[in-house]
């Protein structure tokens, strides 16, 4: 019997898991959520807070373990909310970091590290895990007016 090669997890499955886990967390908080479906979309979730009447555009980014989240700074929108999810193992709860896009844009060097300080743009830029710790479970962003 040949050795089973360790397969890399499917990034599309990880992404969908992040979107649906995020939607579930938002539903649990009494928010109305619409999940958009399709590849290469700019918005993953539309979220409405019926208490404030405010609607949010949300992008969920998921990784299986603590890592960098692939994202280009030019794709960050100040009016979007970004939910970065660490899926962890099947027997562990996920970790969620809820960050307004304007916070990322106001601190590019902090969130992206030194990637954008070089002359040529990076091939695979991304949000670093460390700066996200301040945003762990900051779901209250959806309560603002």
User: Does residue 31 lie in a domain region?
Assistant: yes
User: Does residue 29 lie in a domain region?
Assistant: yes
Q: Domain range spanning residue 41?
A: 11-140
Round to whole Å and give the CA distance between 35 and 37. 6
- Let me know if 116 is exposed, middle or buried by CB neighbors in 10 A (0-12, 13-18, 19+): middle
Q: Report the domain count for the chain.
A: 1
CATH number, domain at 59?
3.40.1350.10
User: Does residue 58 lie in a domain region?
Assistant: yes
Per-residue pLDDT of the chain (145 residues; tens, 9 = 90+): 454 565 655 778 888 899 999 999 999 999 999 999 766 578 999 999 999 999 999 999 999 998 889 888 889 999 999 999 999 988 999 999 999 999 999 999 899 887 766 656 667 788 999 999 999 999 999 997 6
């Amino acid at each position: 019997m040949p050795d089973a090669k360790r397969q890399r997890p499917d990034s599309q499955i990880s992404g969908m898991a992040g979107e649906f886990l995020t939607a579930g967390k938002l539903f649990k908080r009494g928010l109305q959520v619409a999940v958009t479906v399709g590849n290469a979309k700019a918005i993953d979730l539309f979220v409405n807070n019926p208490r404030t009447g405010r609607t949010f555009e949300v992008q969920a980014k998921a990784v299986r373990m603590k890592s960098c989240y692939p994202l280009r700074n030019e794709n960050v929108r100040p009016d979007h909310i970004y939910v970065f999810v660490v899926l962890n193992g099947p027997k562990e709860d996920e970790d969620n970091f809820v960050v307004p896009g304007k916070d990322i844009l106001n601190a590019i060097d902090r969130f992206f590290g030194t990637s954008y300080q070089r002359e040529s743009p990076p091939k695979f830029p991304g949000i670093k895990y460390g700066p996200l710790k301040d945003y762990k479970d900051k779901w209250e962003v959806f309560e603002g007016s």
